[in-house]
């Protein structure tokens, strides 16, 4: 039995059961029937009657075969088409209310790294940054090779005539001084005669074998002539220390 026939039988049964005055029910068995009638009135009263009937029944004439139908899905529901040319359309019901949001699922596994995309265009040049701090001084580089000798310079002007020096222009000054004691150093200085005279050399000596601890040229003062100084340690007062200055006169 196809779906359309089932729908038609359900409609007939529904119409046969309608009764504004109450409800009826029947039980029938082959070879006879027993019926029970139950009526409910408008006032709420119910009456029931049971009757039994005997009858001899024969099979009726078979009905004609029904038409085959097919169902196809549509965007709004379903369409029923039968071979006898009849059709029916079933429409989808309204969309139900949105259900409650489910719990958040577990985080899925990390996907594979995608392929590297193409390089983007070069962006505009950014502003010039602040000047950085001065770096440390680098190591001294290797000395370069000696350059070629430059050309000779222009001869300078002739100098003034020098002073003629002769042996008769030199002299020696000697100064002697008694020793200062066995535990004190004795200092003796011999100088040139004039502040413009040139000290050529000098020397030290003593009247006994005492060690000379220092012997060197000196300027006796800022405006005095140059001279020679001798330092001798431990000379008693009974002995003398000598200083010599070899000078050249320029006058």
Give 28 or 144, the one with higher predicted confidence. 144
Tokens encoding 189: 């200085």
For 217-239, letters b (16+ CB in 10 Å) and e give eeebeeeebbbbbbbbbbbeeeb
| Gap between the Cα atoms of 203 and 209, Å rounded | 15
Q: Position of tokens 């004795």?
A: 186
Q: What is the pLDDT of residues 35-45, one digit of tens each?
A: 444 434 444 44
pLDDT band at 54 (very low <50, low <70, confident <90, very high): low
pLDDT at 140 over 60: yes
Q: What is the pLDDT of residues 153-207, one digit of tens each?
A: 888 888 776 666 677 889 999 998 888 776 677 889 999 988 888 899 999 988 7
Query: How much is the average pLDDT of 55-71?
Result: 80
Tokens encoding 238: 């009974």
Tokens encoding 3: 């779906």
pLDDT, position 162: 63
DSSP 8-state class, residue 169: G
Give 11 or 174, the one with higher predicted confidence. 174
The C-alpha torsion from 197 through 198 and 200 to 205, rounded to 10°, is: 50
Sequence spans of domains, the chain: 1-12+67-90, 167-248
Round the average pLDDT of the chain to a whole number and report it. Answer: 76
* Coil, helix or strand at residue 10: helix
> CB-based contacts of 179: which residues, under 8 Å, 6+ apart?
186, 206, 210, 232, 234, 235, 236, 237, 238, 239, 240, 241
| Gap between the Cα atoms of 116 and 187, Å rounded | 96
pLDDT, position 185: 79
């Amino acid at each position: 039995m196809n779906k359309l026939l089932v729908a038609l039988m359900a409609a007939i049964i529904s119409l046969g059961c309608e009764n504004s005055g109450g409800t009826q029910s029947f039980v029938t068995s082959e070879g006879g029937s027993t019926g029970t009638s139950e009526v409910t009135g408008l006032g709420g009263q119910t009456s029931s009657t049971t009757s039994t009937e005997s009858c001899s029944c024969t099979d009726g004439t078979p009905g004609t075969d029904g038409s085959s139908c097919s169902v196809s899905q549509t965007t709004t529901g379903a369409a029923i088409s039968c071979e006898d040319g009849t059709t029916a359309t079933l429409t989808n019901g309204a969309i139900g209310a949105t259900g409650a949001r489910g719990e958040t699922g577990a985080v899925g596994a990390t996907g594979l790294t995608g392929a590297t995309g193409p390089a983007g265009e070069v962006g505009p040049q950014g502003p010039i940054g602040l000047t950085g701090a001065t770096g440390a001084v680098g190591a001294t580089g290797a000395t370069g090779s000696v350059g070629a000798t430059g050309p000779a310079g222009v001869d300078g002007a002739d100098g003034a005539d020098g002073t003629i020096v002769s042996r008769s222009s030199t002299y020696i000054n000697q100064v002697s001084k008694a020793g200062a004691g066995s535990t004190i150093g004795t200092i003796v200085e011999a100088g040139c005669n004039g502040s413009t005279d040139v000290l050529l050399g000098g020397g030290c000596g003593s009247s006994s074998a005492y060690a000379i601890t220092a012997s060197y040229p000196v300027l006796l003062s800022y405006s005095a002539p140059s001279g020679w100084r001798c330092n001798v340690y431990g000379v008693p007062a009974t002995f003398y220390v000598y200083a010599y200055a070899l000078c050249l006169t320029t006058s």
